[in-house]
Structure 1
Amino acid sequence: MGNVSNSDFPVSVSSLHFPSTEQLSVSQTLASLRRSALSVTNRLRSIEADAAFVREVADHYGLPLVANERCGSWYISPETKTGSAYFKSTDGHTGQWDFSFRRLNLQILPIAREHGGCVIVDSTRRGKLMPDALSKTIPIWCAVFNRVLFPSDTAYHSVELPPNYLGASEESQIEQRIDSFVHSLKSLKLDLDDLRQQLGKPIRVAWANRTYFHPTDLCIGKDYHLFVLCSASKRVHGAEISEGGYIQGAGDDSEAWAHGLTPPVFWAHKSTLLARAEEDLPEIIEKLMQEHRKQGTGHQATRIAPTRNLYISQTSPDSTGSGLYDLIIDCNGNPEATGENTKRLNLGCPSSKQGGRDLRNHLDKVREFVSSQLGRDPTQSLLVMCESGKDLSAGTLLSVLCSFYSDAGEFVEPRMDQVIGKQFIRQRLAWIVSSKHDVNPSRSTLQSINAFLMQRPDY
């Protein structure tokens, strides 16, 4: 063995060489690879591939495309999109099966009647064949409406569920809940004859995904309308890095990855976005979204039937200054900005989740404003708006409908002995949901409304 001098050994800790400080660990390397696999570019290319499958399904059945928002719109180009639905996967979660009275989805009834059915498009992230909205929420909804609107057509009353997908116990428990949902829907006092006319025939359900079409022989029929529940994405069992850049459910949770990009802007500029480098996309998306916002023409207000003078909309320059409405309540507007204007009420609620809780503190002002203004002239139009047009404005209008409007949609002064219960509130909420299908008041907003309305009135 040769001589080794002291200079061949490190003489201090700082001179020691630790490779781990200069090289990524295995977990860091895998995390980096996963981030690369989940790039915006890979997401957009995956969406494009899945959208091609969706078009094939629509062509196969000869039915129009309806997006289950928000995910479904990524997979449908705007020129081929006939409508939107709002079915929540959480209403299909095991043990939580539910029928949403905040999302009645009545807007798809006339679409089905006109075309003989529709293809409802959604997707889900890695590991599942389809989202719970397609496997359970929509089948529950179809069974409820079949029973309510076509009580004598018993052949369509059972819940149709995907083959060999759920356990027998879960299928049985879902079936057992349908009658209670039917009872609750009837209690909303909707015009069932009108809804029956809008739909025309009972609904049958089919599924289309990359694994199977079921039932394989089902098509548009003369005795029923066909709802095809299409899961757009290919099922991925392993990690994304094993799929060569393909991402299952790439359109899901877009707030976390899209840098503000929306489906309409993606489809309008798809070639540009897919041709650019990943690091350039955030800046390009921001520019495209700015251009899109400049082209916007404002948000059209929706009248809440059966009233003739109550409207709801998202806040926009058009709705704030056009003079189209006699009275305005802006849920997010600065209270100090109204000055001496007695025809406008700004509540000053924050746009965050706190807004729903804060609304409770302003409902007395809403009641006083409506009582003094509409009490003097009930023919005046009233527009209620908020930043989203779906949450605080819906809650505020709900308080107005419950406090001041009769079953016929006419303005009436509240009675001193008026008692408002949850069922009455639910009936009035159905007016809003039936008129503007994308409203979605948060739990905190509805809790504020319930707490305010169910206390004994003090006029």
Structure 2
Amino acid sequence: MGSSGSFPALEDLHFPSAQVSISQTLSSLRRSALSVTNRLQSIEADAAFVQEVAEQYGLPLIANERCGSWYISPDAKKGSAYFKSTDGHTGQWDFSFRRLNLQLLPLANEYGGCVIVDSTRRGKLMPDALSKTIPIWSAVLNRALFPTETACHAVQLPPNYLGKSEESQIENRIDGFVHSLKSLKLDLDQLRQQLGKPIRVAWANPEYFYPTDLRKDDASCLFVLCSASKRVHGAEMSEGGYIQGAGDDSEGWAHGLTPPVFWANQAALKQTSEEDLPDLIAELIAEYQQQRGEQEATLISPTKNLYINPTDPRVNGSGRYDLVIDCNGDPATVEDNPKLLNLGCASAKLGSRDLRKSLDKVRDFVNAQLGSDPSQSILITCDTGKDLSAGTLLAIVCQFYNDNGEFDASLSKRSISKTFIRQRLAWIVSSKHDVNPSRSTLQSVNAFLMQPPDY
């Protein structure tokens, strides 16, 4: 019927410009809803709720890094915790020996508890770190440190949040975690004194406080797990610019902005248009880095001479430490200096592989230098001060240090097990709480330390 006035078939009709326009419009709206401006405004709104929680309970604020720091003014922040949501994922419940978080114990004792702040993205009431990871950690510590106080041994989980099966499976793993914690040979009596009394857990989020009547008391340390953001069920565009968990995954949106710089420059950031924000943020970051002083290196106890820090030329070349090992430093720059060892490792996973090939140089360097004078101090650095430097330190303390933290060159030939490596890792984690050697780094160190003697 074509020429006699028939209509074309439906499949012959095309509306390319309309389709592109709708797609582009939706993408543009979503980008607009997730703008940096909207994120910072959402963070400010959530931070006001966090402050209310702190005032209601009369407890100090602790950021669960990295997200939590966005929601706490630096002058109100008493410390940091490092609980991973992945340790609370269904079927993967764990007690992390890379994240012991023992720095919270004396603080909780001093104040009667704390408010641990975190957030999560659209759709969830709270992150798994608050609903499962910290309750698991609390139950493990309560059982390990207060074995006779059985009333506090159950895992405290949020009400009507998990299924009964998941709750039961979590409960069944706790004793195994307690056994593993004890295998680290930490001074449990000292930890018990630091904490003082068992942990009680409560939750606070914009939907509810639970239990509503729980307050500080003389019988327990109260840990309030605060999810800062209100739950958003629909798309971001439906909330008039509010973004749930706006501080999460800041590497993807913040243009390098960090919480300290955000809090110090709120007014300027608010007054700047979205298109000009990246340039302003770059300026503010540069100013902050110029003004910031040298970071104090951390002594790894119980040793008296091993230190860890992010690489900083002002510190590395200051002569403050007798020996320096820089994991990422260029080996060609220190050829004539027997007191410096640059390993030339790359960053991230490639760096972990490079470290595996460099640990024999570390062994020889430490053996030669401390073998002639064990009193010398050693500073170990890497780009972050958390990954490769921690792995290098782990190799050193496993090979050369006795249980009292004293150097002994004869120990380098001893047989090393995974349990022993975990015990020595606890020295590092307990001394510097934000170290986070990656799985790849730990695998490299394990492979080096556990190789056959005639390798």
Structural mapping, 1:108-119, within 5 Å: 108-119=104-115
Q: State which of 369, 373, 376 in structure 2 corresponds to 1:373.
A: 369
Of 257, 260, 263 in structure 1, the residue corresponding to residue 256 of structure 2 is 260
Supply the AA of the counterpart residue of 1:50. Answer: D
Aligned pairs for 1:355-394 (under 5 A) are 355-394=351-390
Q: 2:418 aligns with which of 422, 426, 445?
A: 422
Instruction: Give, in angstroms, the shift of residue 457 of structure 1.
Output: 3.3
If the length of structure 1 is used for normalisation, what is the TM-score? Answer: 0.95
Structure 2 residue aligned with 1:399: 395
Q: Deviations over 1:106-133 (max 9, x none)?
A: 1111110010000000000000000000
Q: CA deviation at 1:200?
A: 0.4
Q: What CA distance in whole angstroms lies between the structure 1 residues aligned with 2:452 and 2:19?
A: 68
Q: Distance in 1 between matches of 2:435 and 2:96?
A: 12
Deviations 1:10-52 (A, max 9, x none): xxxxxxxx87448843232211111100000000000000000
1:320-359 correspondence to structure 2 within 5 Å:
320-359=316-355
Does 1:439 pair with 2:419? no
Deviations 1:264-310 (A, max 9, x none): 00000011101111001000000000001111212210000000000
1: CA distance between counterparts of 2:25 and 2:437?
Answer: 43
User: Is this contact kept in 2: 1:418–1:457, CA < 8 A?
Assistant: no
Residue in structure 2 matched with residue 137 of structure 1 by the alignment: 133
1:244 pairs, out of 240, 245, 248, with: 240
d(CA) in 2 for partners of 1:318 and 1:303? 18
Contact in 1 for aligned 2:400/2:411 (Cα 8 Å):
no
Aligned-partner Cα distance in 1 for 2:19–2:289: 45
State how far apart, in whole Å, the 1-side matches of 2:428 and 2:314 are: 22
Q: Secondary structure at the match of 2:185?
A: coil
**Would you say the 8 A contact 1:416–1:458 is kept in 2?**
no
CA distance in 1, matches of 2:143, 2:410: 36
Are the equivalent residues in 1 in contact too, given 2:399–2:412 (CA < 8 A)? no
Identify the residue that residue 171 of structure 2 maps to in structure 1: 175
- Kindly indicate whether the alpha-carbon contact (under 8 Å) linking 2:394 and 2:425 is maintained by their aligned counterparts in 1: yes
Helix, strand or coil: the match of 1:79? coil
Structure 2 unpaired stretches of 5+: 1-13
1:60 aligns with 2:69: no
For 1:23 and 1:346, locate their aligned partners in 2 and report how far apart those are by CA, in whole Å: 57
- Superposition deviation, residue 416 in structure 1: 7.0
Deviation at 1:396, TM superposition (A): 0.2
Matches of 2:421 and 2:208 in 1, distance apart? Answer: 43
The structural deviation recorded for 1:351 is 1.8
Alignment of 1:36-115 (within 5 A): 36-115=32-111
Aligned to 1:196: 192
Alignment counterpart, residue 315 of structure 2, candidates 319, 329, 336: 319
CA spacing shift, 1:400–1:458, aligned 2, 3 Å:
farther
Whether contact under 8 Å (1:299, 1:318) holds in the other structure is no
Q: Check if 1:296 corresponds to 2:292.
A: yes
Matched letter for residue 164 of structure 2: A
5+ residue gaps, structure 1: 1-17
Q: In structure 1, how many angstroms separate the alpha carbons of the residues matched to 2:64 and 2:332?
A: 40
SS at match of 1:78: coil
Please name the residue that 1:271 is paired with: 267
Flag the 1:22–1:127 CA change in 2: closer, same or farther, 3 A: closer
Aligned residue in 2 for 1:13:
none
Separation in structure 2 between the aligned mates of residue 415 and residue 231 of structure 1, nearest angstrom: 48
Secondary structure of 2:93's aligned partner: coil
Deviations 1:38-76 (A, max 9, x none): 000000000000000000000000000000000000000
The letter of the residue matching 1:207 is: W
Distance (Å, rounded) in 1 between the aligned partners of 2:122 and 2:411: 55
Offset, 1:188: 0.1
Aligned to 1:287: 283
> Percent identical across equivalent pairs?
73
2:10 counterpart residue number? none
- Give the partner amino acid of 2:447: A
Matched position secondary structure for 1:247: coil
Asked if the contact 1:328/1:344 (under 8 Å) is kept, the reply is yes
- C-alpha contact 1:375 1:413 (8 A) present in aligned 2: yes
Q: Distance in 1 between matches of 2:419 and 2:348?
A: 28
Say whether residues 1:126 and 2:133 are aligned partners: no
Equivalent residue for 2:149, pick from 146, 153, 165:
153
Tell me, in whole angstroms, the C-alpha distance in 1 between the residues paired with 2:293 and 2:222.
36
Asked whether the equivalents of residues 419 and 456 of structure 1 are also in contact (C-alpha less than 8 Å), the reply is: no
Give runs of aligned pairs for residues 305-316 of structure 1, distance below 5 A. 305-316=301-312
- Between the aligned partners of 2:106 and 2:18, the Cα distance in structure 1 is 63
In structure 1, how many angstroms separate the alpha carbons of the residues matched to 2:379 and 2:100? Answer: 23
Please identify runs of 4+ aligned residues in structure 1 that moved more than 2 A: 18-28, 414-417, 456-459
Q: How far apart, CA to CA, are the structure 2 residues paired with 1:376 and 1:322?
A: 22
Q: Aligned with 2:409: secondary structure? A: coil
Mapped to 2, the partners of 1:208 and 1:76 lie a distance apart of: 15
Q: What's the CA shift for 1:353?
A: 2.4
Q: Is the 8 A contact 1:416 1:457 kept in 2?
A: no
Contact 2:401 2:411 survives alignment (8 Å):
no
In the alignment, residue 176 of structure 2 is paired with which amino acid?
S
Of the three residues 178, 181, 185, the one matched with 2:181 is 185
The 3-state SS of whatever aligns with 1:100 is coil
Q: Which residue of 2 aligns with 1:7?
A: none
With the length of structure 2 as denominator, give the TM-score of the two structures. 0.96
Separation in 1 of the partners of 2:158 and 2:37? 33
**Counterpart residue type for residue 116 of structure 2:** I
